[in-house]
Amino acid sequence: MGFELERVLYETEDFLRRNLGSRSRREAKKRKLRRKFEEWMRRVRRAAVIFAGLLVALIAFSLFIDPIGFFTWLVALPTAAFIAFLSLF
């Protein structure tokens, strides 16, 4: 019985050390997650800027050069969204 209790305590301590880690390790994990989140937000912002730029170009072309028909818009908007989505990667 004592031997089994000792083994359980050892496994519990091992589990806690692996999952909780030290304070500096937890802080390093937080910093890493924050950097990943910031990188993701930069990519999302860049995609939004690309999409907005393509939209402005389409509107400017439609207003100043030649009117764009409905079916052209129907194809152009998903294409612009797809290009912006590709910029995420």
**Residue 2 — very low, low, confident or very high, per pLDDT cuts 50/70/90?**
low
Model confidence at 57: pLDDT above 80? yes
pLDDT digits (tens, 9 = 90+) for 71-86: 888 999 999 999 999 9
Nearest Cα neighbor of 54 from 75, 74, 83 is: 83
> What is the domain range of residue 12?
2-86
| Contact indicator for 80, 55 with CB cutoff of 8 Å | yes
What's the pLDDT score for residue 25?
79
Number of domains present in the structure of the chain: 1
The residue with greater pLDDT, 78 or 16, is 78
Written as one string, the DSSP assignment of 55-72 is HHHHHHIIIII-PPPHHH
Going from the C-alpha of 2 to that of each of 5, 14, 15, 44, the distances in angstroms are 5, 18, 20, 57
| Contact indicator for 81, 47 with CB cutoff of 8 Å | no
